[in-house]
């Protein structure tokens, strides 16, 4: 079909140092069949590994699609030549997912490198746990910080922060509860305690007391159905909502601790 075209064929991609055709063997054969004496060529420099990577890039974009086995084999060869490239950078070249490239990397036991180069050209630590450990530390130090704030400080994506935060939350929920002695009032039903506090003139007679009661009533409503209420928060506001809720949770935890100390005293 290429030989039947009555117009010039797209230029071949040729490795300059060796003269090897990187992309365009079918076009070259078609030109021979047509009896063409010349054909346009675009040269590229670099070593053999650069030439191979360029051929993979060209073949995944047009022509006969590479099979999954071909793309995995290409990923394996690039990993040998460029072990410092990130999984995502290689995935973009061979048209695979970064998880598949990571599996190829594990299977062939590529040599460990301290830093990997991403698709954006930036250098990042290669240790799989080190960035997440850094994120976990920043979350514990700044529980009220947003995903983007933590991500910027840790040098990772907001999704990585979201994943680490979800893991930490799950660990906290699965941890055995710490049993502490309860006071007589702490053992009572929270709503009954709230009703008693609401009737106390010492709280109702002052502006700070009334503000505290309003806050307690709001939290009592939330306590009856948090799963339903979180559904009303738009997805694009979840990050902001989480920061506010986390800050409020920390403040109430401090208040509870102070109250417990006064009771104990």
Residue 72: is its pLDDT beyond 80? yes
Contact predicate 239/147, CB 8 Å: yes
| Residue 195 host element (H or E) | helix 190-198
Number of Cβ within 10 Å of residue 215's Cβ equals 14
- Where do the domains of the chain lie? 12-124, 130-174, 190-264
Could you tell me if residue 109 is left (phi over 0), alpha (psi between -120 and 50 degrees) or otherwise beta? Answer: left
Contact predicate 25/47, CB 8 Å: no
CB neighbour list of residue 91: distance below 8 Å, 6 or more residues apart: 75, 97, 98, 100, 101
Q: What is the pLDDT of residues 5-27, one digit of tens each?
A: 777 778 888 888 888 888 888 88
End-to-end CA distance of the chain: 92
Cα 135 to the chain's mean position, in Å?
Answer: 12
Residue 29: is its pLDDT beyond 60? yes
Q: What is the pLDDT of residues 95-153, one digit of tens each?
A: 888 888 888 888 775 455 545 666 566 656 555 556 777 788 888 888 778 888 888 88
233: its two tokens: 């928060």
């Amino acid at each position: 079909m290429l030989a039947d075209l009555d117009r010039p064929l797209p230029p071949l991609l040729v490795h300059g140092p060796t003269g090897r055709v990187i992309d365009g063997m079918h076009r070259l054969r078609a030109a021979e069949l047509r009896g063409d004496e010349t054909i346009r060529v675009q040269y590229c420099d670099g070593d053999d590994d650069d030439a191979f990577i360029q051929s993979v890039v060209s073949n995944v974009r047009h022509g006969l699609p590479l099979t999954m086995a071909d793309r995995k084999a290409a990923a394996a060869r690039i990993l040998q030549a460029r072990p410092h490239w990130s999984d995502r950078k290689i995935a973009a070249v061979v048209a695979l997912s970064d998880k598949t490239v990571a599996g190829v990397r594990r299977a062939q036991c590529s040599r460990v490198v301290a830093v990997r180069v991403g698709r954006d050209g930036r250098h990042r630590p290669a240790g799989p746990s080190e960035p997440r450990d850094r994120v976990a530390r920043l979350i514990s130090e700044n529980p009220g910080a947003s995903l983007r704030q933590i991500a910027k400080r840790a040098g990772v994506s907001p999704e990585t922060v979201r994943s680490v935060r979800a893991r930490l939350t799950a660990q906290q929920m699965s941890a055995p509860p710490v049993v502490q002695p309860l006071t007589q009032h702490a053992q009572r039903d929270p709503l009954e305690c709230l009703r008693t506090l609401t009737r106390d003139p010492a709280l109702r007679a002052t502006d700070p007391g009334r503000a505290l009661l309003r806050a307690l009533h709001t939290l009592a409503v939330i306590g009856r159905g948090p799963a339903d209420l979180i559904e009303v928060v738009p997805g694009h506001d979840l990050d902001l909502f989480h920061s506010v809720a986390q800050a409020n949770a920390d403040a109430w935890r401090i208040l509870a601790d102070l109250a417990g100390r006064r009771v104990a005293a």
